[in-house]
Amino acid sequence: MELELAGKGAIVTGGSLGIGRAIALELAREGVKVAVNYRRHDAEARTLVEEIEKIGGKALAFQADVVSFNEAEAMVKRVVEAFGRLEILVCNAGITWDGPIWKMTEQQWDTVIGTNLKGYFNYNRAAAMVFKEQKYGKIVNISSINGLRGKFAQTNYAASKGGEIALSKSLARELGKFNVNVNVIAPGLVMTEMAKGIGAEFLKKALDETVLGRFATPEDVARLVVFLCSDASRHITGEVIKIDGGQYI
């Protein structure tokens, strides 16, 4: 199946590590020009850009805090200027700061909601303005199955991920007439470097929830993102697609 993505421009937030890194690489392999957003991991972002360039792709690294409304607008503008185009936005930047609600602080709540939900609003809004004018665009927001089912000690995270889903569905309604697709991917536990540091007991419990008996890799998520960013998925919008090995059925 020919995905016809070559030459298009993309932004991937939280793109220097884990799922975001895999998404940036997979898009680049399809010939997409990729702008990698990052906040702290400068060396990793630069290494990723070099890796993409080695396979013949084009990439740029942009340091910007997704919580900043102004930095999001500025990054989108700079990417359009650098690439001469922007057709794809993948929002992936996110954090956790767990604790049962009776122990959760205001800072824990505000920080997670700010990064995971306001950050998505900032970039969805800035990209939507470009996509609306050119009457074309693909937005993929990376959420979580915990935004659908909830999770103990993650009221902040689950609320933010549920909010991303509601944001995406509303945006799909608003942008549909402008030929813009907006979809959500809701992974279960994905075996990133960060996940490998989770305790064995927690990992076993999550693995036992799956029906396939395995965890997703970042590349599993990235391949689905690429499909949703292509016109092979042109009639799919407002959807939430779980990629969790049956962890939440």
Supply 18's token pair. Answer: 């884990």
Whether the model pTM is above 0.85:
yes
First to last CA, the chain: 29
* 3-class state of residue 86 by DSSP: coil
Residue 95 to residue 205: CA distance in whole angstroms? 21
Query: Using an 8 Å Cβ cutoff, are 236 and 169 in contact?
Result: no
One pLDDT digit (tens) per residue for the chain, 249 residues:
779 999 999 999 999 999 999 999 999 999 999 999 999 999 999 999 999 999 999 999 999 999 999 999 999 999 999 999 999 999 999 999 999 999 999 999 999 999 999 999 999 999 999 999 999 999 999 999 999 999 999 999 999 999 999 999 999 999 999 999 999 999 999 999 777 778 889 899 999 999 999 999 999 999 999 999 999 999 999 999 999 999 999
> What residue ranges define each of the domains in the chain, with the CATH number in brackets?
9-243 (3.40.50.720)
Supply 49's token pair. Answer: 């850009």
Catalytic residues: 157
